[in-house]
Structure 1
Amino acid sequence: MPESSWFVETRGYLPDQDYSWQAAGAGGQDARAAAELLARGCRGRSVYELIDDSASSLLLYCADGRSGGYGGAGPVWVLLITGFRRAAEDPTDHMGRTIRASVLGTGTGHVPPEDLLAVAHRFLEGRLTGPLPVTYGLPDGTPGFEVDPEGWAGLLDEARTELQDEPPPAALINPDLVRVDRDTADTRSRAAAILREVDEQARAGVFDPARAQLTGGTPRPLLVVTTLMREDSLLALRPLHALSPYVDRRKESNVQREAGNSIVQGFFTKVAGTWGAVFALAGLAGLALLAVAAVAVWR
């Protein structure tokens, strides 16, 4: 598998040209396999439970954390960015709706490949807003669009250059960190810096993605930018970093603490359900006794 593979999901103008994934680069990239990888979800949940495919969102996570997963090349990383829109003056679909698009990048390695980091970084810095290098208007019987390989290669080159031009990271990343913050332009820029810090420190051997539970059996997300999840749900997901408009201010926690909170909450939910059933049965028994007594009195 190459270092990274890229795909775009969008639709055409016509009724039968529904949303589908197509390779964004030169041949050899299997869009169906990429969509199946995405369908596995993240931490037991659908990726579209975590982010909205119609809103400006991002999800970066390890889909297969085994050291020999997906062709034996190492952990498999997935970057999903959603909410791209066509220009306002562009044609709409057959129902007059603005056509949206999503980008999917996959790759293997100890940390996310440079291309994935570069595209995520560019998006978070507000320099990847669309429209994407996609041509629409293909005839009936086709997907209705195609991605321009040269345009996509140029976009990747620009993203890599921007990443390399950024100043080197400074702050050490705590591998046990769970951080949630409000989604703003400033916090997105900070999230972009955190991606670079994780990459640089992992390559220098001072940050271990496996120790941070970003790879392995049930890896937690590296970064989530969402319009769907609130603070409690994000803390239960235990990402290294997350942004949401529903978070009032930055909150930092320990991954073990949040794991313990989830276990405790699950325990009490189970207990509450058990005692609820007990009390319900007791209530039914009481009603039955009252009914028997009433009949006896009536007689």
Structure 2
Amino acid sequence: MNAEQNAKSEESSSKWRFANLLYWVYERRLLRQIRGRVFPRHVGFILDGNRRHGRQRGSQDFNEIYRRGAEKLDDVLGWCAELQIPAVTLWVFSTENLKRSPEEISGILAAVESKIAALAGDPLTHRQRIRVRAIGRLDILPGSVIAAIRMAEAATAQYDSLTLTIAVAYGGREEIADAVRSLLRDEAARGIALPNIIEHVTPEAIARHLYAADLPDPDLIIRTSGEVRLSGFLLWQSVHSEFYFTDVYWPAFRKIDFLRAIRSFQQRTRRFGQ
């Protein structure tokens, strides 16, 4: 390497160190701004922008694209644990995603299966007492994915510090339809006549039959990639949620992006329809 190349390398290294320093200073500033204020009890994430991030990096390999997205989960769990946020729900695969190409579906589900299996065996999951579970129409998933889910659920069932809910083969309309069906089946099993069953179909009764009825409704829902819509995520539960949309693609989502979302949530006045 000649002197000119050495100089360019040193300049590039200096710029990198300076950028990291600025990032660290800004992160500390954001943490100071949010400390001592109310944090959301439940944060939902719509993970969007994996494909666009892959194209940006010149990759068309769906296994690599979605593996990178799955790796981001470790960061998010660490950030939520640091802020003592007790519930996180990630939408990783929708029922509408089944319309995508077989190659892409395979890449998504391979990443989901691998990450869920890794969570079950990760010492950090157990040290942080993270409970892992999945919601959605799980019966339509491949057997190996279901097996990984059941293994993670069994391995973490006793934990209560942070509940990680993975929405896979999930659709908001499907959840509501499934909840109503479950309610009607339960009422019929009790021998309740149809006219009386109709009277029992209330918001409270339906809510008790949702996939994760024991979770609090999400206080904050974050969507990455610049899309400004819910696309069916937690339709029933999000009636009073605050929403935060960021242009950052999911695999590139940073701690400062997360902290900005928390700060935005804290700056809002929540009226719950009143």
- Pick the TM interval, shorter chain: under 0.3
| Structure number with higher relative contact order (C-alpha < 8 Å, ≥ 6 residues apart) | 2
Structure (1/2) with the larger helix percentage: 2
Structure (1/2) with the larger strand percentage: 1
Q: Structure 2-normalised TM-score?
A: 0.25
Q: Structure 1-normalised TM-score?
A: 0.24
